[in-house]
Copies of this chain bind each other. A is one copy, B any other.
Amino acid sequence: MKISLSETAQLLKSKDNILLLAHKHPDGDTLGSSYALCRALTGQGKKANVICDDEIPKVLRFLANGVEPLLFEPEFIIAIDTADIKMLGDKLRTLYASKINLCIDHHISNTLYAEKTMLDDTAAATAEIIFRLLKEMRTDITPSIADCLYTGVSTDTGCFRYSNITSETLRIAAELIDLGADYARLNKELFETKSKSFAALERAALNSIEIHFGGLCAVLAVTKEMFLQSGSNDEEFDRISALPRQIEDVLVGAAIREQKNGTYKVSVRTNPPMNAAEICAGLGGGGHVNAAGCTLEGTLDEAKEKLLKAIEAALISEKKLIVG
């Protein structure tokens, strides 16, 4: 059942011993939103706690600073920024799947698995919803809470760069700054710092970029060895996948990554009029218009050839490439 913001505020007022669940592979929004709400609830004298299936990334650990991990029997369980029960991860799902009282989320794809759901898919980040919720609850937004919410809003929007932002996103960020969010430090740590592993992976990936079809297509390829040597992780590879499409005039950017089992995971990103989902569908995959994926087998050269043929056909069919 979907509920409104004010119903959510009312509901939370009547509850105590609240457990907040962040999604697996946690990002700035699920953690920032969870810790903001946790701080607000404990600030009102309630018991609250945040848990997550995966370890908190180093750069986001400050969100939990000073939050005591309380022990209590949870009476009310809230999933934060989690569109699907699968996103909780195996451990949390096994423990809580049938017991989730509330979900607060901004993903249009939310499967409404919780007893009640506060969904606002116009919000660029769940942290925007939590901000409005705390105002509705007349909670004091301390500088620490402002830091958490600013982290959520800024990380889910690439620091206000993505097309998901609205003027409301910027106004909320402005208010968070006025409430004491340490935005200069946060921006530097979150957006101006590269981990050593990311720097190593980026260097290897950029070196592997090949340009095809007169500059309309750029493809990078990362082998198991390159990935292992860099010490990088999935989240960092996701960011690497965006690099080929960033090059001027490129309509189709692709990132190929060799998996542990020797197959190749391919991520395709396109600029209009090219359709990433169509290109990947022809290769047994799928996704969105601008970002899609598929898995290919064989040697790296074979995988690359299959992919390039599909991209070539798509460019020809869009009349971006002339045959002959």
Contacts and interface: CB of A to CB of B under 8 A. Distances in A.
Contact of A196 (B160, B163, B166, B247): B247
Interface stretch (A65-73, A173-181, A256-264, A280-288): A173-181
Given A167-B173, A170-B177, 17 more contacts: A159-B161, A160-B160, A163-B188, A166-B177, A167-B174, A167-B178, A168-B174, A192-B246, A194-B246, A196-B215, A199-B206, A199-B246, A199-B247, A199-B248, A203-B206, A203-B209, A207-B207
Nearest to A188: B163
Chain A residues touching B, majority SS: helix
Interface residues of A, number: 37
Contacts of A160: 159-160, 170, 173
Contact of A183 (B165, B178, B215): B165
A183 B191 CA distance: 20
A60 B9 CA distance: 46
Interface string A215-236: 1000000000000000000000
Contacts of A206: 199, 202-203, 206
B174 A187 contact: no
Kindly name the residue among A159, A163, A167, A206 whose own CB sees the greatest number of chain B CB atoms within 10 A: A167
